[in-house]
Copies of this chain bind each other. A is one copy, B any other.
Amino acid sequence: MQAVILAAGLGTRMGKFSKDQPKGLLKIAGREIIYRTLKILKNLEIKEFIIITNPKYKQSYENFLNQNKIKYQLILNHFPERGNGYSFYLAKDFVTEKFVLVMSDHLYEEDFIRTALKKEGLIVDKKGLYINPDEATKVKVEDGRVKEIGKNLDSYCGFDTGFFVLTPEIFKTAERLVKEKKVIELSEIIKEAKVKVSEVNGYFWIDVDTPKERKLAKHYLIKNSIKGTGDGWVSKLINRKISTKISEYLVDYLTPNQITFLTFLLGIFSAAVVWLSIPLAGILYQISSILDGVDGEIARASMRTSKLGGYIDSVLDRYVDFSFLLALACVIHPSYKFWIIIAFAIFGSIMVSYSTERYKASFFQDIYKIIPQMKYLPGKRDERIFITMLFCLVNRILELFILLAILTNIRVGLTLVLACRKKPETSF
């Protein structure tokens, strides 16, 4: 399949944000709107992109596309004032097969696009969970085909997602209308051609027309970037609520790797603070635990996830945990025998992560996916750090080590038991 992207619009409603640059190149959560669409389409095996823009934006788009090494056809619309129907018509000679048509200023999550690609015609969403229904364009359907498109329909089937799966036949209607009228909107062509309508409901997509919508889009992108698997109840109830706010702020300024490094430094620093004040150190350690979610959130929201990033982050986390516990051990001047408990607590804390990650190395799948009961085992990192902070606040370090030594090693034992109870691979 080919993809046609309409990017000739002048974006007058974006105010200062789009004074010099087209809406498609507006960065939201660290990535251009159009980058997201192109990247997802490319991952779904669409390799040919036909982009229609106006001469004013030619240079910007060429720079962007070349920088990202995207293969493209750039078509210039010298009369953008003739409407986006005319822009669409200009793709006529470049489209040779069934194709996707998408707007440059619409943001879609991957699952939306994946589902939509299997459908036909104009994609509507009955739910429109992330858009303002008063402002949105609605679609009226008759016999499975478009009857009416507009903002002020009294009854409608769903919202126009700006995403289409079409055949080149549509250009016949487009050509006729373009010859008849000076200004022609895409919706007129769609309506005139009685395009089929398909539903894709409930996914994240948004039409970015105003600065307010831009902010909202960023908010949802960060919110949807929480990975989830492996989050303990502290993450769910506390850490993620704060980390997403931080991510929303930092995504425009820092890369995921920079945040990984800063979080690591804060963790090591919190261990050093143990000698100064145990309660303060505990609080800093908990803050580093909250920040530990930010790198992943920003990476996913800005489509910058990297296997290496996740790997480095994990190894550094172990060094932070080790440093903090060892620092605590040092300041309490434990007895000879108590060092054994400390050793079990440190070892167990590392092994919780080891037993989880080693499972993935064997089975190439997340243990929380394969063994859902794992989610209910206490002792995940966010929980351990929160407990550590609480015990630091009341200065009960001996009790903390005893608790950690027992909790973590029991968790590892139960992990092994649960792994063994999973039904084995078939032999032949």
Listed in ascending order, the chain A residues whose CB lies under 8 Å from chain B are: 38-39, 42, 68-70, 306-308, 310-312, 314-315, 318, 322, 326, 329-330, 333, 336, 339-340, 342-343, 346-347, 350-351, 353-355, 357-364, 412, 415-416, 419-420, 422, 424-425, 427-428
Contact of B343 with A311 in the complex, beta carbons under 8 Å: no
Contact of B318 with A351 in the complex, beta carbons under 8 Å: yes
CA distance A347 to B358 in the complex (A): 17
Known: A308-B424, A424-B306. Contact between A358 and B355, CB under 8 A? no
Contact of A361 with B357 in the complex, beta carbons under 8 Å: yes
CA distance A362 to B343 in the complex (A): 28
Contact of A355 among B315, B329, B419, B420 (CB under 8 A): B315
Q: Helix, strand, loop or mixed for chain A's interface?
A: helix
Give min CB distance, A43 to chain B, whole Å: 10
Contact of A340 with B315 in the complex, beta carbons under 8 Å: no
Closest B residue to A422 using CB positions = B308
Contact of B315 with A416 in the complex, beta carbons under 8 Å: yes
Contacts of A347 in B (CB 8 A): 322, 346-347, 350
Closest B residue to A69 using CB positions = B428
Contacts of A359 in B (CB 8 A): 311
Give min CB distance, A69 to chain B, whole Å: 6
CA distance A425 to B362 in the complex (A): 23
Contact of A311 with B364 in the complex, beta carbons under 8 Å: no
CA distance A155 to B358 in the complex (A): 55
Give min CB distance, A309 to chain B, whole Å: 9
User: Which of A315, A318, A329, A351 has the most B CB atoms < 10 Å from its CB?
Assistant: A315
Contact of A315 among B312, B314, B412 (CB under 8 A): B412
Contact of B312 with A416 in the complex, beta carbons under 8 Å: yes
CA distance A347 to B322 in the complex (A): 8
CA distance A342 to B340 in the complex (A): 11
Contacts of A315 in B (CB 8 A): 351, 354-355, 358, 412, 415-416
By Cβ-Cβ distance, the 3 closest A-B pairs, closest first, are: A360-B361, A311-B362, A307-B362
Contact of A346 among B306, B346, B416, B420 (CB under 8 A): B346
Give min CB distance, A146 to chain B, whole Å: 34
Contact of B307 with A425 in the complex, beta carbons under 8 Å: yes
Contact of A70 with B428 in the complex, beta carbons under 8 Å: yes
Contact of A306 with B425 in the complex, beta carbons under 8 Å: yes
CA distance A70 to B354 in the complex (A): 38
CA distance A312 to B38 in the complex (A): 43
Contacts of A343 in B (CB 8 A): 322, 326, 329, 342-343, 346
Beyond A312-B416, A312-B419, A315-B351, 13 additional contacts (C-beta under 8 Å) are A308-B420, A315-B412, A315-B416, A318-B351, A318-B354, A322-B347, A339-B339, A343-B346, A346-B346, A347-B347, A350-B354, A354-B357, A360-B360
Contacts of A326 in B (CB 8 A): 340, 343
User: Which of A329, A347, A357, A359 has the most B CB atoms < 10 Å from its CB?
Assistant: A347
Contact of B68 with A312 in the complex, beta carbons under 8 Å: no
Contact of B362 with A310 in the complex, beta carbons under 8 Å: yes
Contact of B350 with A311 in the complex, beta carbons under 8 Å: no
Closest B residue to A305 using CB positions = B425
Contact of B311 with A419 in the complex, beta carbons under 8 Å: yes
Give min CB distance, A367 to chain B, whole Å: 10
CA distance A354 to B353 in the complex (A): 9
Instruction: Report 27 cross-chain contacts, Cβ distance below 8 Å, ordered by A residue.
Output: A42-B428, A68-B428, A69-B428, A70-B428, A306-B424, A307-B425, A308-B419, A308-B424, A311-B359, A314-B358, A314-B362, A315-B351, A315-B355, A315-B358, A318-B351, A318-B354, A322-B343, A329-B339, A333-B336, A339-B342, A347-B350, A350-B350, A350-B351, A353-B354, A357-B361, A360-B361, A364-B364
